[in-house]
């Protein structure tokens, strides 16, 4: 949203089309506004058949209409995402919770901020914040 509000949207979308792989984590964690959903569609459409996307979500595809606040737009996004995709459905306890429980039982202390965690591969925060 920041890029949109600052009239830098086209430039930001262009920058996000360059990486061979763009990772978007936790889509659907929070519902998107109509503007955010539209911007996300534009990003997906721009990368469609040009570059790879890895998207994680805790929502099933059936719930994406609620995430996008628009079932038609959600269908259009999913149509492009699923056309050439491989989907993985992972069930079970969150690895974060599982890791935390293992730490509790082993008497481990909480990890230091930023300690050993991978860095963000692609920063797309300017598009949605």
Residue 71 tokens read as: 């079932």
- The stretch 59-86 carries a mean pLDDT of 94
Dist. CA 88–CA 67, nearest whole Å: 19
pTM of this prediction exceeds 0.75: no
Which residues pair with residue 24 across a beta bridge? 55
- The stretch 76-82 carries a mean pLDDT of 96
Dist. CA 27–CA 2, nearest whole Å: 18
Q: In this predicted model, what pLDDT tens digit does every residue of 24-37 receive, in sequence order? A: 999 998 989 999 99
The DSSP line for 52-100 is EEEE--SS-GGGHHHHTT-HHHHHHHHHHHHHT-------SS-HHHHHH
Q: Which domains does the chain have, with CATH numbers?
A: 2-128 (3.40.50.300)
For residues 98 and 49, the model is more confident at 49
Q: What is the pLDDT of residue 128?
A: 42
User: CB under 8 Å, gap of 24 or more: what pairs does 45-50 form?
Assistant: 45/80, 46/13, 46/16, 46/17, 47/16, 47/17, 47/22, 48/80, 48/83, 49/84, 50/17
Q: What is the pLDDT of residue 126?
A: 41
Q: Give the CA distances from residue 93 to residues 23, 33, 96, in Å, rounded to whole numbers and listed in that order.
A: 22, 29, 8
Dist. CA 20–CA 46, nearest whole Å: 13
């Amino acid at each position: 949203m920041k890029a949109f509000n600052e009239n830098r949207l086209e430039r930001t979308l262009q920058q996000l089309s360059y990486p061979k792989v763009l990772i978007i984590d936790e889509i659907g964690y929070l519902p998107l506004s109509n503007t955010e959903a539209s911007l996300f569609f534009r990003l997906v459409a721009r990368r469609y058949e040009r570059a790879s996307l890895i998207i994680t979500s805790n929502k099933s595809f059936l719930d994406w209409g609620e995430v996008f606040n628009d079932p038609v737009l959600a269908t259009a996004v999913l149509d492009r995402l699923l056309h050439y995709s491989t989907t993985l459905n992972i069930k079970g306890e969150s690895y974060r919770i599982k890791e935390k429980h293992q730490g509790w039982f082993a008497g481990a202390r909480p990890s230091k901020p930023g300690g050993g965690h991978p860095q963000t591969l692609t920063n797309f925060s300017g598009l949605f914040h």
